[in-house]
Amino acid sequence: MKLNCTQWLRNKQGHMLLKLVVAILFMGLAFRLVFFRSTRLPPVLEEIPLTEKTELAEPPLPVQVQENEDQAPREENVEEKCDLFTGDWIPNPSGPIYTNQSCSLIESHQNCMNNGRPDTGYLYWRWNPRDCEIPPFDPERFLETMRHKTWAVIGDSISRNHVQSLLCMLSMVEQPVQVYHDEEYRSKRWHFPSYNLTISVIWSPFLVEAAIFEDFNGVSTSEVELYLDKFDKKWTDSYQNFDYIIFSSGEWYLKSAIYHENNTIVGCHYCPKRNLTQLGFVFAYHKALQYVFNFIATSNHKGHIFFRTSTPDHFENGEWFSGGTCPKTTPVKEGEIELKDLNRILRDVELEEFEKAAVEASRNGVKLKLLDLTLLSLLRPDGHPGPYREFHPFAGDKNATVQNDCLHWCLPGPIDSWNDVIMEIVVNG
């Protein structure tokens, strides 16, 4: 029994020694594996050349993060993208802010209600750009913003029509004082004393020098003598004195004219009784606008200058001299009416020459902008005086043959919305 115990003890000690040896072997193997793996590069990096390892070890370049104000467009930048000149006429139940009774500055040919126009629906519409809302004209805010400023609207009788509209709207706050007129009362100037604001209209239908032989009703006794390389000094002499200028031309270039350059007659437009080269009005309009735009773009003028595109007439079944009328009493939608060929040609010339001038003006720091009011005006065939350019034309004979005016605009009328657009650009923009 003693022998068996001794033998059992020896066997147990042998097993323990064996376990100890095995444990030491495992620990050595583990240590070796850990040490071995910790002193080697990862397999992928071992296969990469040293130069590439260095590049990977460098931190990435910092990302240039824009300031918050540049990450999202400013509100005014969004507004600038709005096309103020593409839209629709929508009902305006409140109507115009003035009447022909409240404003004494309306010339008789545009005073449609006083002249007996029977319908009034044309007064209750407003222009609505499709991409944004523009508020109605605010005469008090306009006057405050334009304190100590000078305005000039340069062009033909449409420009005079426009100035009357602007003055009537501003007169709801203060009555302007007329301080100047030329001999024919075509160029005038008004002053708003409380705001020291001056607004002028300068009659210069061609913008270049011209000798015109026609009466107030447009009846000519001879062709216009047009000097394509000479400025009309009525506006260039005072050009630098104005803070804001709107100039325009167009329809007058359709008249019969003799063209002069370098003090020499070079041709004409529609002069069958003259032995002259027929150059056409497109030639003359290009030449004149190039000359005028070059003057403006290189003038170093510090104010704001706008070129207004020519506005279309709406004569139907003839022209002003051949029985044409404009009988519509409501606006039309885009696509329901097209520009006449002559109006389209004038507009194409204007856009082409303006685009070239705008590049040069921007390069020279001159603020030249386009007032593209053609479409806005095209959609309002109902806004003209028609036969009511004269006082009660049918009072004596309801079937009387009367000359119609389908070019100028009734006051109040659609032309008032031109000022809504202008205010949005110069005051709210």
Alpha carbon distance 312, 406 (integer Å): 9
Query: 338 φ, ψ to 5°?
Result: -125, 155
In contact, 258 and 225? CB cutoff 8 Å: yes
The one-letter code for the residue type at 13 is Q
Cα-Cα-Cα-Cα dihedral sign, residues 18, 22, 25, 27? negative
Burial 115-147 (b: 16+ CB within 10 A, else e): bebeeeebbebbbbbeeeebebbbbeebbeebe
In contact, 207 and 229? CB cutoff 8 Å: no
Instruction: Provide the token pair at 226.
Output: 């047009």
Q: What is the CA radius of gyration of the chain?
A: 40
Residues recognised as catalytic: 157, 405, 408
Cα-Cα-Cα-Cα dihedral sign, residues 100, 428, 293, 269? negative
Alpha carbon distance 77, 69 (integer Å): 11
User: Tokens 């240039």, residue?
Assistant: 64
Which among 262, 259, 296 has a CA at the least distance from the CA of 276?
259
